[in-house]
Structure 1
Amino acid sequence: MSSFSITPLLKLLAQYQDSEQKVVTQDIVSEVTAAFAGILGQGAVEEGQRAALLTALTFSGLYYKSQIVNAVVKVMRDAAVAVPIDFHDKDFATKRRLLKRNNYHGGFVDIVGTGGDGHNTFNVSTTSALLASPYLLIAKHGNRAATSVSGSSDMISALAGGSFILNIPPEAVGKILTDHSNLAFLFAPTYHTSLGGLAPLRKELGFSTIFNVVGPLANPIEGIEARILGVKNRELGKVFSEVLQLMGCQKGMVVCGDVGKGLDEISPCGKTFCWRLVAAPPGSPPGTLATINEFELHPVEDFGVALHPLEECKSRSPQENADIVKAILRNEVPAGDPIMDYCLINSAALLVVAGVTDEWKEAVELIKQGLREQASLKEWEGYLKGCNIYKRDDAETINVTPVANGAPATVDGANGTH
């Protein structure tokens, strides 16, 4: 594979760093796109220049600029292993049609947190996806733990009784969704294979890079209708909402709980800062971007759920968390339980953002109804059955070696902690 130089880009970044106005020009965006295309598989960039690029983006602050993040996310998704979904398959189309409700059109939905907020909370995003699955087509992007006790994949493996559930080939995802469940769990290292080779460099650098930012945005599946992204600080809230906007997302919400420096979920103990994308009105010209509305949510006022100290919502081991999830799915957890309420408000928000209902409190009641009827349990058991059919017995689960700042060596923040 031929190599190419990114010296022109490095010079542009040096000029940016020295400038007073700090304008992200189209030249910088184009050069960054080409450089990361080379790094992630279309060519080769010499290791010293890779290190220089990651360093320059971090220390110039460009790795937090929406135009740059959007460019890198696009390259990552283009380089990812495809998830072959036949949207024209008669049975799959029927499933989607039956899921349509109010303003939800039966498309894929994801809920993910950046991780790295330091709070070590329960696997609330993953659990919320399970609770919402009777109403939504879930494409849950996830990874192993980076900074917490139990990552998304760790808990899912414990819930399934083995890591075989992570060994599902991409070509089986559509079959499972069509025949067995509304759930799909997309294990990040399976789809973002090109990032594994960057682990030694990132570990050597020892500081946060743009790869610590882009993971939650890099869900490899096509046709995502709605998503919730939790960020570890308010600064990232505006960045992520703008990136979703640039990606053409019409239904989405970025959240940051007002806890310490930030909580990458809707907070169970107080207000949460929100950046919600509102679709362009009917009749708008093609390509019209969604608008971003900023507001706050509160467990009591908006969801009708009691407040709980964050200490009561801490993560335990993957197996202990899985046991709690089993009890929740079986509707065995009493009303008012802190973790139950924490999951209720986050899963309810997913229904609202997707368009199943416009009311936060009504969404809570829908989630409760699904639990009473054990509909969420049925979706999980269906997914488990499908995975047992299509698992790769001859493949070993990809191991993820932690690197600097709690970032997995493959895809950071692809729900590495929740």
Structure 2
Amino acid sequence: MNIVERLARAPRTMEAGDLAPWVAAFADELRSLGHTDLTVGNYADCARHFAAWLAIDNIGLDDVGDGSFGRFKTHRCRCGGYRPATPRSGKYLRRVHRFIDFLGRRGVIKLLDKVVAAPVDPLVRDYQDWLTRNRGICGRTAARHGRMVTRLLLSLGSEPHAYGPAMIKIAIIHEAERCSAPYMKTMTTALRGYLRFLASADLCRPGLEHAVPHIPQWRLSSLPRYLSPDEVERLVASCDLRTGRGVRDRAILLLLARLGLRAGDILEMRLGDIDWSSATLRVKGKGRRETRLPMPQDAGDAVLGYLDGARPLVDSDRLFLRSNAPFRPFASSPTVSHIVALALKRAGIDNPPSHGANLLRHSAATHMLRGGATLQSVGAVLRHRSLDTTTVYAKVDLNMLMQVAQPWPGDVAC
């Protein structure tokens, strides 16, 4: 269709044509998910635009697919009403794509092609299952280890019986030239686990995990990164309790700061994990280990306030949910760390030592130790398997260090 014909067919106002009932149904679905009227209106406008473009270009529903969506992204708009000619923003196009997906789910059009994930090596898939079933590793960690092993297979090959110490060292050295030291430590851990799995299944020589090089990292070589007690209180007080998000974030920050929880602990927390009669909280940590921790008064009050007046009424047993529709559980641990990062910015804490949830975990341990708690007590609250892990906090116990510090010899000759 040339530009003259197109202009002749372009209406003064944007009309959805035959898809108008489906635009209305799309809006109803968004309302049922809890979206505000403003959000629903924005989505409906985008859907109406796509429907009007189909009508003007005379594209039938049977022809709607990835190709037509690609043409819509770059078309010079003459669809009626006020719309910028080009380009359309990514948010605008995502709304249109959601409408197309809605039509596909309702059977009006064929679903758009999904991105097909790269196939996973069967042995790597078995290794991930072995980690979750026999080693108590959570699914996200098992998936990460599987991705790292898959990356190493490019150098090692897919024949485990041919693996040898020299081949393993060369593969690690090759990756070390492109990756950071912390990433390589995780990669070597994943490879050792993979080699143990293969040996247990008699698929490779036993003991090959000892051929994996160790990435140098000196124990206790760094100081814990923490905030002062005043800064922690400023962080908690920065939440706006007039909003549901502020009530939720305050509860999360108090749990992190008082109990030294990990981001993953907040992510996996369920409604049934709180025993209100005994004021305890069940925490499911690493390796499927469950621990009962005492619920501090202020943290318990904050959680109760969130449940009473701010938590959306949805069919989910997760304790903390997104504050915007659709009200789903957090997708991953970085969401919790992002809450901490935003609170640091609101509180005006400049140049914090870090920006994630672990900052409050380290702060809680440091404050407990300086308040007179023993390393064993701190380790129990943080759920460390070994006291050696807790020992790093001894370096920030200034009162104890002052007692054991030796006087400076001054001008005494050596």
- Please give the TM-score of this superposition, normalised by the length of structure 2: 0.25
Name which one, 1 or 2, has greater alpha-carbon Rg. Answer: 2
Hey, which of these two has a bigger chunk of helix by percent?
2
Hey, which of these two has a bigger chunk of strand by percent?
1
Q: Which has the higher contact order (CA 8 A, sep 6+)?
A: 1
